[in-house]
Structure 1
């Protein structure tokens, strides 16, 4: 948390103190219905007509409202060094919590904070539900495509499996009994491999058909693997601190918001637990798939939650039929830290080849590494 964010948090606490001392209310941002109490307080303050307190009320309760949005919707503060009031970014949109409070203090016809929260919730649920439906169908359809499921055999012994796992995970010591979550990792590869290496594996995936490959491989190899069909931003069926490590293959590009995913990972991973994630580089998603006049060009903005145009044809960089979203490094890395993680290592897996012909994916990867791999530790 930056100094500016600490100051905003302190202002939100000041709003809570004001609510207690002057209105007999407790308004913790962690309590969902506290927003109704704040609405009542703003209405009372407006009716009192104390214009000299408008500015201080705006600042304190605006900070409270921003913290509430951050807590319940996964927003994050931005513009903290600007000469204007700080904003909250949520998905691909930017909001001004302080201006919303000011409007309500001055005008009873302005939207209440409850109304604004309902709008945020409705928009998020609509976008999330639509995205889940589109991507679930897409990945169910790809369940028979060997590019996205197990193609070839798995190691035949525990020793071979241990030799094949990620070195970052191997560096943690024995996998025997390790509680491992393979997140968004159906397809019959990650789960069976790590179960064979000795881990107690849970595989979560949005696609039932992808998870069917995990079931078949587990049955064939005599392995025990728990399989759960759910979106990666909803792990409510899993208990707090229930995993020692989380492996997260490329998938964050398929959700409109990263923060809720990181929040869930942080919740289910024990303190000190390891998080290994490989995701698509935002700069690669911004750029043209093929060269234009012998150059790769930026086609899409570096905007958090930007919905990338659908592809009619499959490429090695993007998957047809899916809905993908762009998440800049500030989100991929910053939101991870804000969710209680310390980043220990970052690498760009080598995919380039300077000898490859122009337009070849390996030629493109020489200029635009397609992936970012992150090793992080839960604080």
Structure 2
């Protein structure tokens, strides 16, 4: 039963009216244990879904039950934030919630949040954004600042705006929420830490005659790209989007896919220069895979890391370093297939140190031949491509890759 710790004028009458509006609910939060998950549900009709001490206690009950039963938590949020009538005792519930999320994560259990309309204030910044996977309802108000304390009609405070800023994994219409959550939980609970299968090569089957031939083939517009490989390799997949630091790189496709009943996390470059947000999203993907014993598949295809002024301001060097370190210390197997251009450190950062393969129409090089020629002050770019030993067969001989992927036609 909700108490009145501050003796707030009229609070008890407000609680009575909230119970009437919500059809007899005793608080803004309720929870139920199901076979697949413990579900926490907010009721915005009850004082705007705000959280005070009693609501915090209910959230703690839910997480405690989930840890005891080894079940995921699904938080379906619709809230205006902390409850003013309980003052700092209400605000301190954010620390309580953050601790519960951390304990759940340490236990290796998934937490999926669903951001309803609205999801604002401290509960977005703790229960919502603190989940392993964040689903937002299309059109919902989502943001740290609520509608009464921020500029009106700014798209930044929407589900779509948060997706663009890299803080939401997927935005779905209300009718698709349940199916999306079920698909995510199914994949997150299938981890077996067995190395991912190397995809078959979808393009050319023959090997290039020269280094420049290898470069030309990798850059050919008709060469199969990451989406084609993901479509061919997985039966089903869900996206993992955003670096949780304000950025999204559409040229880095991350997610979890299902192949022959096994769940595999993937990070795939699409042929563009990878931005800091792309490297950070890939690092986040690997850390997520670690928590749930998911093997990782990476597809390398980039001319290199983005090197413009915007990338430098966004910390491209630090982002690459973070991904190198995350891959190096990963506690799950990482399998890599170079499917196109393997340009310098921007490609190597996404590559497994020991389990990297390459397709016949790809190359891997310390730097693009043209840039190498500029640095070395040589005009013979084609000859330099041979000197770099960047063809698939060269890389096998050098021990840089383990082998050349078999063509799909040999299935």
The answer to whether TM tops 0.5 is: no
TM-score of the aligned structures, taking structure 2 as reference length: 0.31
The structure with the largest alpha-carbon Rg is: 2
